[in-house]
Structures are given as structure tokens and as C-alpha cells.
Amino acid sequence: MASDPSPKTAHIAYLDVGELQDRLSSGALTSVGLVEALVQRIADLDRPDSPTALRSVIAVSERALAEAEESDRRRALSSDNLALEGIPVLVKDNIEVNGLPSSAGSTSLLERPPASDAPLVTRLRQAGAVILGTTNLSEWANIRSPRSTGGWSAVGGLTANPWALDRNAGGSSSGSGAALAAGLAPLAIGTETDGSICCPCSLNGVAGIKPTVGAVPTAGVVPISPSQDSPGPMGRTAADVRLLLDVLTGAAEPSGEPPPLSSIRVVVATTWRTGHPTTDSLFEETVERIRSLGLPTVDVAPAGPTGEAKKDESTVLLCELKDALDLYLPTRGPGGPQTLAEVVAYEDGHADVELAWFGHELFEQALALGGRDGEAYRDARRRNLSWALDTVLEPALACADVLVAPYMGPAWKSDLLLGGHPASASPATMAPAVAGWPIACVPMGLAAGLPVGLTIIGRPGSERTILAVAAAVEVPSRPTWTPPTRS
């Protein structure tokens, strides 16, 4: 492995949450010292004038050190530590954090920062977490244009993949995935509507889960789709993700021991492949490892998405987007767009910044559809839900607990001029996205030196079972730090 580009902080950058908690509890480390090291690492690796210039962090909280000091005081007064006492967390910048931009990557929200925290951020603070900052993302969570480049926003620029700076970090939770892989924080929050946690987890070699829709509150999150949006935890291991999930869901007590592996029945999706030979080969090796652990498996050939299913999902998302943004935008106060139509007008008036690389065709389509009261919405949602449940998920999981499939091949080269998305991807995220079911993604190895991910799908409320399988088969790794430097 090549030397870490920020050697002063390398000793602390990749410690898992359990080890950090042990060091904090023993006095070998303070939360202040941890935050100072990570802020320095962000300065070394992430700022635009850095040789690496990851651009994964939009803003570092000015309150982080004060929060760390308060955490250290609490720890000195009591041995009864909170679940995340003193642990720094980065939050995707479409989630409201008082004192931070919470811009969704759009300059239209920069002058209207939130006056309070989203409920999920309140839960983080109540658990003792230090809010370190907010992360870059695909602007508006990647629902502006079919020609978008994942990880680009007008506020944050283009997020780079720490495994290779010319490679894509995925979307829309690109900054959260890249920051974790780069060792800028031990934990991060992402959001997913269809693939937006799983994609950056796969491409950056980290772990995450989109919980069951409704398990984590979406109030204070810039919305796309009430039927599909779900904030979720991201970390470098499934164990860290599980700890963060307990906090986000408001669990009164830690979720306890996961079910015995031997009791978990696994479906192997034989028809969901990426088409990338090395990735699909790694998946077959992962399946053999699952079997060697004693988990009962069965091969199933789940249906893939039809053209009608894809069109229906798009119709549902765009109709819900129009209504949801029209309700949300006024909550950010005056002085900027109050409706989706005004966002489009704003972006047209600031095209040199907002539309520098691609347009907002999807916004225009959303306006043309007219929201959920339009004729198209109800039939599309009914058909789409029936496809996801009756055609795909229920038959595939009829006699099992979880389904496993590869997600996508290694990160592709970013191209702002041409845009583009991966050609080698399985349809794993679509049916659970439409149905609101949980799905996790964890690293399963390297393909030509770049990470690729395994997806694990379960029924609503089965997050503990999903993460138990994830912890058993994940292959954690860290960047080799031999990327081409940006010119």
C-alpha cells in the first residue's frame, strides 16, 4: 500500500468506532484530539487547492470543537457513556443541520440555512455524537438531469473517488462515501431514494444501509419522494453501521445480538449480475463464503425491471418531487425559490453556475406531470408497487430471509462534459426502493484495484438480519492512495 497522503493523521484515520470508544473511555484519546486530527485531515486532503482535492466535505462545523469539549467534560463526570459519545459524524448536505449550509448542493439554498436540526440530527446529538460537517452530493440528490455526473453540485464541485481521483465517487451520497474511504470521519449519514447510499458504498469500498422507509425520520431532509426517501447510516464496517442505525431509528436500547448466522436463509439472485466479469466472479466467491459459513442458500432467478416499471418509477418520483419540494421550500424562509417552478427559473437565471455541465430536464418533466393529483400518478404508483412486490420481492424471498446480489462494477471515469452512468450495474436497488424495503451494501473485494460492493435485501424491519450477513461476508479495505493527481 502506498503511503497515506496525510501521514500526520493516518494513525487515527481508519480506527473503527469500537476502538475509538475504547480509547476515549480509557483516556488514551480525547474527543477534542480526535476532532482536531480529522479537521486537519480534511484540510490536507479535501480542500480545492489540495493535491488530492476530494471535495467530499462541503462545510466543517465551527461548533465541532466546542461539541467535542463538551463531550470530554461529560465523559469526565460519568462512566455511563452515551452510544456515540465524542464520535464525529459527517452529514449529507441535504439534511438540515443548524449552522451548516444544508444546501442540497444548490446555490439557491445557500442564503437560507436552516434554523434548527433535522430530527435525525437531534438524535445524533442526543447520543453524544459530534457533528463534524456536511458532505457533498449529486445536486438535489441527483434528480435534475439524465445527463448528470454523479457527485457534482454547484456548491461543492465534483467529488473525487479517493481510490483514484479521476474515478467517480457515485451518487447521490458521494461525499459521505468518499469521506469515509479517505478516513475523514468514522461515520456518515447518507440518503437513498433508489441507490444513493448503495452506489457510493460500492464505489468507495465502504458499508451502508438504506433502512425501511419510515424507520428514520425524513423531516428536515430536502425531499424527493415520500414513498421512497430514506436517510441511512454509512461507515467502514457493518458493525459501525449497525451502531449508527440504532441511534437514527431512536432505538431505546441497543439492538442486541444479531440472529445466529445458521438460522438466516439466503437467496442468491442468479439473474442479477453486473456484466463486469471480475465483479461477478467476486460475487460467486462471496456466495461460496456464505455457504462455507453454514448459511442455507437457494438459487432464485428474480425478475428484472421492465421498461414499464422503469417508466412508472420515474413518473412516481417526479410527481412526488414536485409536491414535496413545493411544501418544503417555504420552510427555508424567504429570499429564494419557494416552489419547484421557481427553482427552475432561478437555475435558468444562474445558468453559468447551476447549469454549467448539464440541464434540469427532470425538473421540467416534473412540472409538466403536475404532481400527485395528476392523472398519471396513481396508476403508475399502483403498477410500480405491484411489480416490486408481486413480481420481484415476494416471489424471490418466499422461503428465505435475505437476498444477495452484486451491485455494480468498479468506478468509472468522471466526465462532466458527457455525463454518464455505469454500464455494468445490476438492478438490485430498484425493487426494494419502490417497495420501501431495506437494502445494504458492503465491500466484497477489489476489481483491478478498485472496490466493488455486495447488496443484501430483506423485508421491512429486517435490518439486524441484513447487517448480520453483511458483517460475516464484508471485505473491508482502504484506498491504496496512488491516484493520478488532478491537473
**Domain identity same for 35 and 152:** yes
Is 12 contained in some domain?
Answer: no
Q: Average per-residue pLDDT in the chain?
A: 95
Instruction: Tell me whether strands 130-135 and 57-60 are parallel, antiparallel or unpaired.
Output: antiparallel
**Domain identity same for 367 and 441:** no
Q: In total, how many domains does the chain have?
A: 2
3-state secondary structure 231-246: EEEEECCHHHHHHHHH
**E strand spans, 73-201:** 88-92, 130-135, 152-153, 157-158, 160-161, 164-168, 187-192
Question: Contact 456/242 with Cβ under 8 angstroms?
Answer: no
Is 357 contained in some domain?
Answer: yes
**Domain identity same for 266 and 119:** yes
Tens digit of pLDDT for each residue in 348-370? 999 999 999 999 999 999 999 99
**Domain identity same for 182 and 76:** yes
**Domain identity same for 419 and 274:** yes
> What's the mean pLDDT in 56-83?
96
Position 239 scores a pLDDT of 97
Is 483 contained in some domain?
Answer: no
Q: Which of 385, 402, 421 is the last residue of a domain?
A: 385
Instruction: Place 51 in a pLDDT band, splitting at 50, 70 and 90.
Output: confident
- Between 39-48, 284-293, 377-386, 412-421, the lowest mean confidence (pLDDT) is in 412-421
- The sign one gets for the Cα dihedral 85, 86, 90, 93 is positive
Position 271 scores a pLDDT of 97
- Give yes or no for residue 487 having a pLDDT over 70: no
Which residues form the domain of 337?
A: 307-385
> What's the mean pLDDT in 201-211?
98
Position 259 scores a pLDDT of 84
State how far the Cα of 186 lies from the Cα of 476, in Å rounded to an integer: 13
Instruction: Place 252 in a pLDDT band, splitting at 50, 70 and 90.
Output: low
Angstrom distances, CA of residue 232 to CA of 77, 189, 418: 32, 6, 30
Is 341 contained in some domain?
Answer: yes
Is 486 contained in some domain?
Answer: no
- Give yes or no for residue 481 having a pLDDT over 80: no
**Domain identity same for 138 and 25:** yes
- Give yes or no for residue 486 having a pLDDT over 70: no
State how far the Cα of 211 lies from the Cα of 207, in Å rounded to an integer: 13
**Domain identity same for 57 and 162:** yes
Angle between helices 238-248 and 463-473 (to 10 degrees): 160
Please give the DSSP secondary-structure letter assigned to residue 391.
I
Count of C-beta atoms within a 10 Å radius of residue 27 = 10
Position 309 scores a pLDDT of 98
3-state secondary structure of 413: strand
State how far the Cα of 174 lies from the Cα of 168, in Å rounded to an integer: 9
Q: Which of 385, 408, 430 is the last residue of a domain?
A: 385
Count of C-beta atoms within a 10 Å radius of residue 386 = 14
**Domain identity same for 410 and 440:** yes
**Domain identity same for 291 and 197:** yes
Question: Contact 221/94 with Cβ under 8 angstroms?
Answer: yes
Residue 251: closest CA among 243, 261, 259: 243
- Give yes or no for residue 483 having a pLDDT over 90: no
Question: Contact 207/109 with Cβ under 8 angstroms?
Answer: no
- The CATH number linked to 445 is 3.90.1300.10
Tens digit of pLDDT for each residue in 129-168? 999 999 999 999 999 999 999 999 999 999 999 999 999 9
Indicate which residues carry an active-site annotation: 92, 172, 196
Is 478 contained in some domain?
Answer: no
Is 11 contained in some domain?
Answer: no
Please give the DSSP secondary-structure letter assigned to residue 331.
G
Position 482 scores a pLDDT of 59
How close are the terminal C-alpha atoms of the chain, in Å?
23
**Domain identity same for 137 and 169:** yes
DSSP per residue, 33-50: HHHHHHHHHHHHHTSTTS
> What's the mean pLDDT in 373-382?
93
**Domain identity same for 90 and 151:** yes
**Domain identity same for 242 and 319:** no
> What's the mean pLDDT in 468-484?
86
Is 5 contained in some domain?
Answer: no
Q: Which of 329, 356, 385 is the last residue of a domain?
A: 385
Q: Does pTM top 0.75 for this prediction? A: yes
Residue 245: closest CA among 21, 83, 452: 83
Tens digit of pLDDT for each residue in 253-301? 666 677 899 999 999 999 999 999 999 999 999 999 999 999 999 999 9
> What's the mean pLDDT in 66-88?
96
Position 1 scores a pLDDT of 47
- Give yes or no for residue 484 having a pLDDT over 60: no
